[in-house]
Amino acid sequence: MSFKTHLPLSISILTYSFYFLIYLILILSNSFHLIKSQQIINSIQNALNERDQIYFGIWTDSQSGFSDTPALINSRLGLNISAFQIAQQIPLPKYNYTTGAGGPAPEYLIEQTQTDAAVFLTVYPTSIDAVADSDLNALGIQLASYKNDLNRTVFLRFAPEMQGAWNPYGFQPTAFLALWKRMYTIIKSTSNSTAIVWAPNTPQSYPYSQSTNGLSTADLSILDTNHDGQINNDDDPFTPFYPGDEFVDWIGISSYYKGPTFQNINVPQPSGYCGSVLNGTLGSNYNWYELFCNKPGKACMIAESGAAFHLQAIDNQASTAKNIIDLQRAWWQDCITSTDFFRQFPRVKMTMHFEHLKMEVDGGKNDLRDYRLTNDTATLEAFKADLTSVIGSYVVAGYRPLPANVQASGRPTSSPGVTKDQNQTGIVFQTERKPLVTGPPTLFGNRKGSGSKNFEFSGLSLMTGLMGACLGVKLVIR
């Protein structure tokens, strides 16, 4: 054959070789991205008791005079909430049949919902030094019985808001860390299925005007994270109290809106407020979400939250929200029913609402604050409508029958899930939660990135089809 005869064939071979080379390069490139992406996916391990959807929890006000219950919450909302918060102290005080104080938390109230909602138990140490191993063992047995006897998903939030001196265990990092590690070890030896939640307070206004007088040299050294000889808002509000990944299952935070600046007035929060609490606000350079929420095997939560409607400020000229619905709608649309919020913070897998009417002291003045979303009829109906519209994003509790020893309402003669002598059991009607002046939320400032990442790569099947078309062959990838 002449050169002219071979020329078209040579060009064809070169063309196919060129396409095949491109194909191999794309295959190798895509394989690299697949491997890298799989490594990223593998690094995002589920936390203990984590679900694909988000838990929406409520902390009901069951103290004497209010007597709200989880069952009543479900009835008002017309759906089954997936977690309920209850509280008790440690060491566990005996139940007082006269005052209704003391004893273990009223878990039977969750049984009376006739659902499989999770138990979210908050435990407050009465003193940093008062908690003995025997107290922790008893708590572990109590938690294990919720799972073993009642088949409940269980969360334990132990010693929350530990940066605050308003708690008897607060603002003492050395002793707190020792107690926490001892607690975690003992609880896990008895109730390994309990998810233990480390939940600090919001960094806003840290260190909350607290005096450092009386702090040990060791505590001062730990708290002074920037080593400038002072404890102030430039210091890290979180890590001095963090016990380490091996001693934590979930990471939480308290997040409240109590009005602008230092005034007890009713002004709705600005859009994006809740996100700014998680990823840094003016006056705090520390991004809680970025620091804690991308850890493998961990999940994050808003462990207690709400917006305060100041009942004594309704007629205040500075109050732009004249009705509770005007203030609370801004809260739930920003923090509970916002799909943008959970898209920005995908590792927030639970949000817990503080459904209380509470007298609080701020700036030396008593201030009656209503955090409730389900008390006022107009507020309830508007909240129900918005919550229903996004309910697919949330875990909804399923039905289950009452245990044999629990009646449909009222306090049972024996407390389910508690094996201690019955003279020490009963409902907790009061929990001491009297925060020092922490200052109102800071509203303005530069919002930082949440630390979440998006990864996109071309599909292997698409490239295979394109290369197959170029080569005129059918490629099968198995």
Q: How far apart are CA 286 and CA 434, in angstroms?
A: 25
- 83 near 423, Cβ under 8 Å? no
State residue 257 phi and psi, 5-degree precision. -120, 120
Q: How far apart are CA 348 and CA 452, in angstroms?
A: 11
Coil, strand or helix: which one is 476? coil
Residues 6+ apart with CB under 8 A from 319: 265, 266, 267, 310, 313
- Asked about 161 being catalytic, the answer comes back as yes
Burial class of residue 197 in the structure, from the number of CB atoms within 10 Å of its CB (0-12 exposed, 13-18 middle, 19+ buried) = buried
Chain-centre distance of CA 448, in angstroms?
19
State residue 365 phi and psi, 5-degree precision. -120, 140
Burial class of residue 246 in the structure, from the number of CB atoms within 10 Å of its CB (0-12 exposed, 13-18 middle, 19+ buried) = exposed
Q: How far apart are CA 156 and CA 183, in angstroms?
A: 11
In the chain, the N- to C-terminal Cα span, in Å, equals 42
Strand duo 250-257 + 299-307: pairing = parallel
- 287 near 35, Cβ under 8 Å? no
Q: How far apart are CA 365 and CA 348, in angstroms?
A: 34
Catalytic member of 111, 161, 355, 360:
161
- Asked about 304 being catalytic, the answer comes back as yes
Q: Quote the tokens at residue 109.
A: 């109230």
Nearest to 308 by CA among 206, 122, 121, 435: 435
Q: Break the chain down into helix, strand, coil percent, rounded to 5.
A: 35, 15, 50
Catalytic member of 50, 107, 304, 355:
304
Largest pairwise CA distance in the chain: 113
**HEC assignment per residue over 29-84:** HHHHHHHHHHHHHHHCCCCCCCCCCEEEEEEECCCCCCCCCHHHHHHHHCCCCCEE
Catalytic residues: 161, 304
